[in-house]
Amino acid sequence: MNSSFLTPWTGTMSDGHSYTITDDEIKIAGVLAYACTIPGTIVCGLVLIAYGITALSPIARKCFDRVSFRLLVYSLAFNVFFGIAYAATPTGPSAGCGIGAFAVNLTLCFATFFTTCIAINLQLVLVHGVNGQRLEKYYVLGTIILSLALNVPTMALHQFGWNELSATCWYSNADDKTRLRWIIGTQSFWISLAATIETICSSVVLFWMYLFHRDITALNESSESSIDKNTKRTTVKSNRSSLLTEDPRYKKIILRIALYPIVSLLMNYSTVILDLNMSIVGVNTQLDFRLLVVDLILYGLRTLAYGVLAAGDPSFINAIREIRGSSKGSTAARTRTFRNIAFASRKPGTMQSQSQSATQTENGSKVMEFDLHHEESRSDGMMGKIISEGQVGDLEMSIARRADDEDEIQKIARQL
């Protein structure tokens, strides 16, 4: 619906007295709706541009390699299209009125269903261990098919157009009951279902994370447990995705992804309830008109809400940090290169003794450097630090396990 379509009309109150919605009230409603729609559309567009510029960096691009992030980009794009369609629909009953209503409803479905897929994917990957990358194409195809199936037949059967009841371009069937069926069957039910699925999936993920970390805490606090370290490792990490929830980097990503359903729940349920109230009760009082204005404002605010959330997406923030870190790291790498060249230019006879000598740092502390692969003592009698072959083997195994865990974490993170 679009508030710019509102036209003056006279209603009858419950006590029999008539009232008239003034032009000034209609103008104020239009200004409020546009004031919420245009900024949100701009924010979503700017966020997408920022994503594109950041993705030009190969280092930052790795941070964007997540299924949920790509779904978020699709949702943001259709939120931009929704805002444009919402603002560009004709201002009165005309041939373009039906096209405008069709565009608004179609882009709304795309934006909503892509966000729902984010929540579904989060549960399937973390809780059930499903490969999210394999399901990505089904998320996209399912969203496209469902959105077109709900809106194309509605448009073909001329159900979109000028709505006399709300004075907006929306569902236009003259029969109240038939119009209500179309509203519920092609919009309200599916938008409510999408918001419900998002809420359920996010709740399941958060509860699963709570149970997992409770088990972790119980194992760590059990001082008399008969389970050795290897057994504990196997028990705690029996689920591959549990590795991801232990990593603080991705824990924040998981929690931030769960915020999208909260926004969806507030926005979608509110607009659905207000839409149905207007369709069933009508606009017969000043209160009904005010509820209609609130409904129009909420439609505009949804783009702003999603845009603000997307601007603080953890993947985007991590990408920015990686770019900054790479510039600092390149400077440090050049410094290490110069040191290595200086070290390599030393005489072979003095390299070993110099590697074991104590060097004075800028703050006066001394740093001892030892060769871990040779058991040699200093000439002045001070013994070097000696690591046995068994300790070296344990250290190598620990490093290898950590490397394997990091690879597994990165693999699962790309499925989120």
Tokens of 208: 């699963």
Query: How many Å apart are CA 222 and CA 87, to the nearest integer?
Result: 61
- Residue 406, pLDDT > 60, answer no
Q: Which of 184-193, 236-245, 370-379 is modeled with the greatest confidence? A: 184-193
> What angle, rounded to 10 degrees, do the helices at 176-183 and 259-281 form?
170
Is 169 in contact with 161 (CB distance < 8 Å)? yes
Render the burial of 304-316: b for 16+ CB within 10 Å, e for the rest. Answer: bbbbebbeebbbb
Tokens of 249: 């980097």
Higher pLDDT: 21 or 191? It is 191
Work out the average pLDDT over 159-163: 89
What is the rounded CA–CA span in Å between residue 117 and residue 395?
42
Q: With contact defined as beta carbons under 8 Å apart, do 129 and 205 qualify?
A: no
Q: 227: pLDDT confidence band, cut at 50, 70 and 90?
A: very low
pLDDT of residue 360: 41
Residue predicted with more confidence, 57 or 288: 57
Contact 198, 191 (CB under 8 A): no
Instruction: Pick 220 or 174 by higher pLDDT.
Output: 174
CA–CA separation, 106 and 99 (whole Å):
10
Which residues are bridge partners to 169 per DSSP?
A: 162
In whole numbers, what is the pLDDT of the chain averaged over residues?
74
- pTM for this one? 0.73
Task: Dihedral sign for Cα 219, 221, 222, 224, please.
Answer: positive
CA torsion angle 401 405 407 413 (round to 10): 180
Q: Is a pLDDT exceeding 60 seen at residue 190? A: yes
Residue type, 96: G
d(CA 32, CA 279): 22
Name the pLDDT band for 214 (thresholds 50, 70, 90). Answer: confident
Handedness of CA 216, 218, 220, 226 (dihedral sign): negative
> CA-CA distance, 238 to 236, in Å (whole number)?
6
pLDDT at 345: 45
- Residue owning tokens 């809106």: 151
Q: What does the DSSP assignment read for 338-386?
A: HHHHHHHTS-HHHHHHHHTSEEE-TTS-EEE---TT---B-TTSPBPP-
Percent of the chain with pLDDT over 70: 62
State residue 248's pLDDT score: 57
- Of 19-33, 214-228, 278-292, the range with the highest mean pLDDT is 278-292
User: Where do the domains of the chain lie, and which CATH numbers do they carry?
Assistant: 3-324 (1.20.1070.10), 351-415 (no CATH)
Cα Rg for the chain, rounded, in angstroms? 31
Give the confidence band of 283 by pLDDT, cuts at 50, 70, 90. confident
**Nearest Cα to Cα of residue 215 among 203, 201, 227:** 227
Quick one: pLDDT at residue 2? 58
Mean local confidence (pLDDT), 266-278: 89
Q: What integer is the mean pLDDT of 30-48?
A: 88
Query: Distance between CA 8 and CA 131 in Å, rounded?
Result: 55
Percent of the chain at pLDDT exceeding 90: 28
- What does residue 169 show for φ and ψ, rounded to 5 degrees? -85, 110
Please give the Cα distance from 102 to 152 (Å, whole number).
8
What SS3 state is found at 358?
strand
